[in-house]
A and B are shown apart, each in its own frame.
Chain A
Amino acid sequence: MMASSSHSSPRFTQLILHISHILHINHIQQVDLLQFITCGSVDDGKSTLIGRLLYDSDAVSLDVLAALEAQNRTSAAGTVDLALLTDGLRAEREQGITIDVAHKYFTTPRRKFIITDTPGHVQYTRNMVTGASNADLAIVLVDARQGVVEQTRRHSIVAALLGIRRFVLAVNKIDLVDYSEQTFRDIVADYAAVAAQLGIRQVVSIPLSALNGDNVVRASAHLPWYQGPNLLEHLETVDVSREATTDAARLQVQYVIRPQTAELPDYRGYAGRIQSGVYRPGDRVLVLPAGLETTLAAIEINQQAVPVAVAPQGVVLRLTDDVDVSRGDTIVPLAQAPEPTRELEATLCWMVEQPLRPGRKLLVQHHAAKTRAVVQAIVAKTNIQTLEQQPAAEAQLNDIVRVRLKTALPLVADTYLQNRTTGAFILLDEQTGATLAAGLIEQTTLPAPELVL
């Protein structure tokens, strides 16, 4: 995993100046944000790939390289181990593994990128779920010599489950199979079968060598048969519009602003972040779960009234009527209101050693809303290799199970398929507060139990 550290080629200097001009304040409005995860098994070269992206886009600075070189004295002079750029903790460097989710950042003239690097070890699947929960895109890395392996499948299942729709199949170490087009095509075909089973429609496959830099930020002379974009080109241009403004409008109140000053004795503003959709002053709205009907008197951003606001903006809503609203309540346009529910069916990723058994009481945190709940039943466990649903008496660490939950207070929620924000929750331990599970809502209205005659 070595790369030359001579770092001042004309291309880099040019790139920097280019960014410098483009990123000038007048152009910042053009820059958007892409958050992606990288997944693959141990030794697929994930950390090297991230190191290569950072290194070739000049996000790594001289002192960081110097520190890496100092750690790497045993290697050939003038080379650095790119993987060390992401392995931040002492144990990770000592053991040569990545323990925890790490975040890295780089910016090009088109986009700011947030990379979530998730460990490949089986025992750290919970980190993969964590990383995937916030990602717009997943890079699935395979070693060209190994092809699609168990872990590839497992990671793709988790990424698809968490709602990622855009995938890159990065066929790494293509240099080690003599840049073989046939090997690449075979792997692409194998992965297409996995993707089809998971309902993944958008897969862009790219042959590359993270170590040598082939096809990462520049095209490779070794791959004349490949006509597609290199990795960075694709990341810069892939469509990331995520908040469809046609989604139902959702906002949970996080905090009530009440200045109670001489100038503003009666001001009440409901502060929250628009989770999806569009809000406009004058909208008839419901405050849920209570079901109180009122009108949006104003939407304020930074104390200015605005004519329209969209996800994910943070806003303050003012209501025409003096109704009772507190943290965790949802304010939605009348026509788009969901039915509050106390019974849910959800998919959980169980994240702690202590197993989950039916009857367990815990806390549900649904963003700003928090309530006690009981796991009424474990409906099934997903076999992460075959996707089959199997009966299960309990859920163990890293298991993905389908459960039925009953909550003490009604939740105002959607299914995860409908809404990646309001369809998500976490489960907490009542005593320690530890995060026990990630929850994805499958059904908010459960069919009535069959009548036993």
Chain B
Amino acid sequence: MPTLPRLDYLDRLEAEAIHILREVAGQFQRPALLFSGGKDSIALVRLAQKAFRPGRFPFPLVHIDTGHNFPEVLQFRDQLAAELGEQLIVRRVEDTIRQRGLREPGGKFPSRNALQTYTLLDTIEEFGFDACIGGARRDEEKARAKERIFSVRDEFGQWDPRRQRPELWNIYNGQIQPGENVRVFPISNWTELDVWNYIQREQIELPSIYFAHERRCVVLPSGQLLALTEHLSLDATDELTTRQVRFRTVGDSTCTAAVESDAATLEAIIDDILQAKVSERGATRLDDRISETGMEDRKRNGYF
């Protein structure tokens, strides 16, 4: 008799995520996997391979493109989709702005994070998606800590924290009415460290901007570093510098700060994280600082 496998905590988190992905495939007609090219969505792709190979994914990859991306990430995205042989749908915030006559956010750091919501909702409507899988985690932010794994949204994509369905055992209720859709978060219970440990264990490739490299940056008054791109409108007084940096998340480049680091390998990054005293969103996201309830407000309006 072969000995029974002993499962560690990563095995358990993985099994949970695969179970959730298969529930999406079993319960919905038109699911989609929201793919940003970031590490969390790349981990989701690996989990989808484990859930569905040797078959095809039962959903396309969908990228809501802010137009403020790092070129390395877009290149990585296209290459990964090609290697997987899976369908990639890209919808651009730029097009939504034009079609709907929206105003671009002004200011020095014109983040399109809030406008992404419109493009996402339009894309859901265009393809009739009934479930959108995302890589959000509960440890990222305190409004997210109250999010369900299957999160039902009304036809405007809105999240009402008081009307959430209780989520019992590992039974996921995807029964919805026409017009409603569900956001699904298979790695809800993972922390940033768990994702990195998994990436290392699985030897998953990532875009190069996650690893230390030299970059021309703007130094913000808070001391945070922002990559110098053509989307920023700088003053003569802005301080520019070249530093050894890496990114902990890859979002809109106008609101995703870099951290100084010389971590060039997964091992070094994990060491960095273990010693980091500043949480992931705090270190790198400028938009949550706008108000104490920044994330909660955006989620209520249909954001992820």
Q: Do A and B come from one complex?
A: yes
Interface residue ranges, A against B (CB under 8 Å): 16-17, 19-20, 23-25, 28-33, 61-64, 67, 70-71, 85-90, 93, 99-105, 107, 111-112, 114, 126-127, 129-130, 133-134, 245, 254-255, 257-259, 261, 264, 267, 269, 271-273, 278, 280, 301-303, 306-310, 312-314, 327, 351, 363, 365-368, 420-421, 424-426, 428, 431-435, 438
Of A62, A89, A103, A105, which is within 8 A of B161 by CB? A89
Interface residue ranges, B against A (CB under 8 Å): 1-16, 18-19, 22-23, 25-26, 49-56, 58, 138-139, 142-143, 145-146, 152, 161-162, 164-171, 173, 175-177, 188-189, 191, 193-194, 197, 200-201, 267, 270-271, 274-279, 282-283, 292-293, 296
* A308 CA to B73 CA, complexed, in Å: 39
Instruction: Return the 4 tightest CB-CB contacts between A and B, nearest first.
Output: A63-B282, A433-B175, A88-B142, A314-B18
Do the beta carbons of B54 and A264 come within 8 Å of each other? yes
Do the beta carbons of A313 and B161 come within 8 Å of each other? no
Of B4, B189, B293, which is within 8 A of A114 by CB? B189
Do the beta carbons of A61 and B165 come within 8 Å of each other? no
Do the beta carbons of A435 and B278 come within 8 Å of each other? no
Do the beta carbons of A100 and B161 come within 8 Å of each other? yes
Do the beta carbons of B56 and A259 come within 8 Å of each other? yes
Of A29, A93, A312, A426, which is within 8 A of B15 by CB? A312
Contacts of A71 in B (CB 8 A): 292
- What are 27 of the A-B contact pairs (CB < 8 Å)? A16-B274, A16-B275, A19-B274, A25-B270, A29-B8, A33-B12, A61-B278, A62-B279, A63-B282, A64-B279, A87-B142, A88-B145, A89-B146, A99-B162, A107-B191, A112-B194, A134-B170, A259-B55, A271-B22, A271-B52, A302-B53, A310-B5, A351-B166, A367-B171, A421-B170, A426-B171, A433-B175
* A277 CA to B55 CA, complexed, in Å: 27
Do the beta carbons of A89 and B143 come within 8 Å of each other? yes
Do the beta carbons of A425 and B171 come within 8 Å of each other? yes
Contacts of B3 in A (CB 8 A): 308
* A77 CA to B23 CA, complexed, in Å: 49
Do the beta carbons of B146 and A255 come within 8 Å of each other? no
Of A245, A303, A431, which is within 8 A of B54 by CB? A303
Do the beta carbons of A308 and B146 come within 8 Å of each other? no
Using A134-B170, A308-B2, A424-B169 as known contacts, say yes or no to A255 and B278 having CB atoms under 8 A apart: no
Of A100, A112, A327, A433, which is within 8 A of B173 by CB? A433
Contacts of B9 in A (CB 8 A): 28, 31-33, 111-112
Using A63-B278, A103-B138 as known contacts, say yes or no to A32 and B8 having CB atoms under 8 A apart: yes
- Interface contacts beyond A88-B146, A101-B146: sample of 8 additional A-B pairs, CB < 8 Å, sorted by A: A16-B275, A28-B197, A61-B279, A64-B282, A103-B146, A310-B5, A327-B26, A433-B176
* A32 CA to B8 CA, complexed, in Å: 5
Contacts of A434 in B (CB 8 A): 165
* A314 CA to B18 CA, complexed, in Å: 7
* A145 CA to B277 CA, complexed, in Å: 37
Do the beta carbons of B22 and A255 come within 8 Å of each other? yes
Using A61-B282, A432-B177 as known contacts, say yes or no to A107 and B54 having CB atoms under 8 A apart: no
Minimal Cβ-Cβ distance residue in B for A87: B142
* A24 CA to B196 CA, complexed, in Å: 11
CB distance from A37 to the nearest CB of B (A): 13
Do the beta carbons of B51 and A271 come within 8 Å of each other? yes
* A67 CA to B197 CA, complexed, in Å: 28
CB distance from B146 to the nearest CB of A (A): 5
Minimal Cβ-Cβ distance residue in A for B176: A433
Do the beta carbons of B51 and A428 come within 8 Å of each other? no
CB distance from A44 to the nearest CB of B (A): 20
Do the beta carbons of A272 and B22 come within 8 Å of each other? yes
Using A273-B18, A302-B50, A314-B50 as known contacts, say yes or no to A61 and B142 having CB atoms under 8 A apart: no
Do the beta carbons of A20 and B4 come within 8 Å of each other? no
CB distance from B45 to the nearest CB of A (A): 14
* A12 CA to B162 CA, complexed, in Å: 37
* A87 CA to B197 CA, complexed, in Å: 28
Do the beta carbons of A126 and B166 come within 8 Å of each other? yes
Using A129-B168, A314-B15, A351-B166 as known contacts, say yes or no to A435 and B143 having CB atoms under 8 A apart: no
Do the beta carbons of B19 and A100 come within 8 Å of each other? no
Do the beta carbons of B55 and A421 come within 8 Å of each other? no
Of B55, B164, B189, B201, which is within 8 A of A257 by CB? B55
Contacts of B267 in A (CB 8 A): 24-25
Of A88, A107, A363, A426, which is within 8 A of B168 by CB? A426
Do the beta carbons of B189 and A103 come within 8 Å of each other? yes
Do the beta carbons of A133 and B145 come within 8 Å of each other? no
* A258 CA to B254 CA, complexed, in Å: 43
* A90 CA to B270 CA, complexed, in Å: 33
CB distance from B28 to the nearest CB of A (A): 11
* A273 CA to B16 CA, complexed, in Å: 9
Contacts of B201 in A (CB 8 A): 25, 28
* A112 CA to B55 CA, complexed, in Å: 33
Do the beta carbons of B139 and A105 come within 8 Å of each other? yes
Contacts of B58 in A (CB 8 A): 255
